[in-house]
Structure 1
Amino acid sequence: MAAADAVVTKRDRAPVSPAGRRYALLVITLGLLHTLGTLTVDIYLPAFPLIGDEFDASQAVVQFTFTGAMVGMMFGQLTIGPWSDRVGRRLPLVLSSVAHVAASVLCATAPTIEILIAARFLQGAASAATVVVTIAIVRDLFIGTKMLRLLANLALIYGTAIVVGPFLGSQLLLVMDWRGVFFSLAGYAAVIGILAASTLAETLPASRRRQPGLAPILASYRAVALDRQFMGLSLVGGFAWGGMYAYLSSSSFLFQQTLGLSQWQYGLAFASHAVFMLAGSQLASLAITWWPARRLLAFATVSLLVAPVALLLLHGTGWGLWAVLPPLWLFTLALGIAKPCVQTLAMSRVTHHAGVASSLLGGLNTGVGALATPLVGLIGITSAVPVAAVMIGFELLAVLALVLVGRPATPPRHA
């Protein structure tokens, strides 16, 4: 049977949840698709000082290349999600991959920092499909515990890209300049587009697609946004990742300029987080057998606040790198636990508007991330204190969102 037939066999037939080798193929394909979004965000981070030197730009201005991608990703998620509810999941994935190739080439050839920021916006918008549509596909096929376990399996792949991306970028910078990194990303986007076109089936049958027009889109957004728990859980995820993005955007300056690490050492230190994030996602997959997802999320959210507090308290101990890495390891471990729990609890509340729901969930993540990324640079990265302070602020908001908005355990409204 063809790969495309493994999930859905007729245009109007409900999708069939794959198993065995077909399930493994689905995990690999969706996981690799998701890595395009994560690598778009972080693979070029080691090049921040080089970009600043070439364009004679300050730390804060260079960080706006990161912010531009986040804003673009938010815009893309909020538009591509509803579009995928209208036309299906495959078409947005394939076309967005083509657009990503073009945007990456534009980044690589940007003559000014302003054009680079604009190109990063386009790159982020194009990468949004690989984030929002993969989550919608998961919701098309699974719900509850099975969905959480699939999301945890996906995290094995894209979670690695989040933290290994800067290490990969640092290795590429040994043999090419920062522009070559963006050309490499263009090639990867082309491969991902071919993979999506050749292996993914359509998971949204025609009978479940939204009617064309603006009114149905607004009605879908309204139906999802009125679910208080869904929005509360989305805010938890958004604020949690706000702390991560604040750290991501400042990590190159923190490790290389403040702590004195080389590009290679920075990439290696950053890659060490991979073990903890992956451990967190797999811990969530295993612990769901004994603990409900909501309790796991509460534990993870509190841990996300404890980690930057520890980072702040350890400042000034004279331990150097070892005052920074352990709190960040705790942070990435907790984030690995929190992400599949947020996605499962939020998406399980939605039945008919998975694309819109995934858009709101992802859009809040990237929207908060876009606000977080320039903050540390505007304060000034002279030590770990500004990084820890911004992270504490966002994680405190995540705790408050969980307690005040996302906590009540009422049945789904089937938006």
Structure 2
Amino acid sequence: MKVRAAVLRQMGLPAPYARSLPLHLDEVELDPPGPGELLVKVRAAGLCHSDLSVIDGSRPRVMPMVLGHEAAGEVVETGADTPGFARGDAVVFAFVPSCGHCDFCASGRAALCEPGARANVAGTLLSGARRWHAADGSALNHHLGVSAFAEYAVVSARSAVRIDRALPPQIAALFGCAVMTGVGAVVNTARVGPGESVAIFGMGGVGLAALLGAVAAGADPIVAVDVLPAKLELAKSLGATHTVLAGGAESVAAIREHTRGGAAYAIETAGSEAALAQAYAATRRGGMTVTVGLPHPGKQFAISAVSLVTEERTVKGSYMGSAVPSRDLPRYIALHRTGRLPVEKLLTHTLPLDDINLAFDRLARGEAVRQVVLFDT
């Protein structure tokens, strides 16, 4: 079938993207779903900083690629061997397909699925297939098994989670990355408990979702850290007890003062090795520094090695919120339904697919939290 999609053919084109147009809106060919796959009509797709990192080249991926990884849609066709899915199901995508059989999946660490990771690096679906083709017949790569900036997408059934149809698509989409990653970093990776102190670095979509998760977990105090005062004001309205303008030693000192000697958990979501160093410096003795952001693979993070021993410190990575999507997404949606996870407050803009390059300019300037492309319903 012919599908309109946003195709990235070259990384590293300069901003403003409304002028350089890194994403081409092309009519491409989409093959039908194979065994274990679903054809999904995309209803809403969020713009994430991870997408921007591919566009600007700081997160290298195979080219050319149909971009986008945070989305919700409706199943319109199922391939063979897709038990649990039927036409008309509402689904949210997970950006790491989980095979269900490797050592990591079997031990409840679906975010580290080895076949899923290999497929994501190769730009294929979990099966190893590519279902996208350009007008000249050449293959196009999948982005994290999802490729959500398109009217339709074929995904592995292992990349989809059924959800309640009552949840609006523009809200449902946010659960696929921002919420799963941010809330998961708090409840799965750090396992924050009531009354424990948390400092969160970076108030983008993931960082603010982590803030919502910390509030839901009963953390106190909760310190929000960012370079933009407007983001800190939003964080305050969402439950941060203190805000700190990011910077050098003075910022770290302020965080340590607000958390009575350092945060029990410092969570870095900015994708900056400098922010990660500050998060480590703001963590108390015996505390945990959790890193969620994705800096360029060449960047390094240096700490005092002896502090890991003498202060019994922990530095821990969190990918996809250490989530098991089929377990966690229904839980987070249930929290949203009861008002304990007001995800809708993260949505700052909706737009048509035609405005996607302009929207990435807005994201790059820090003028948006979560923007969502809405497709015709």
TM range (shorter): under 0.3
* Structure with greater proportional strand content: 2
TM-score (norm 2): 0.27
Relative CO higher for 1 or 2, CA cutoff 8 Å, sep ≥ 6? 1
TM-score (norm 1): 0.25
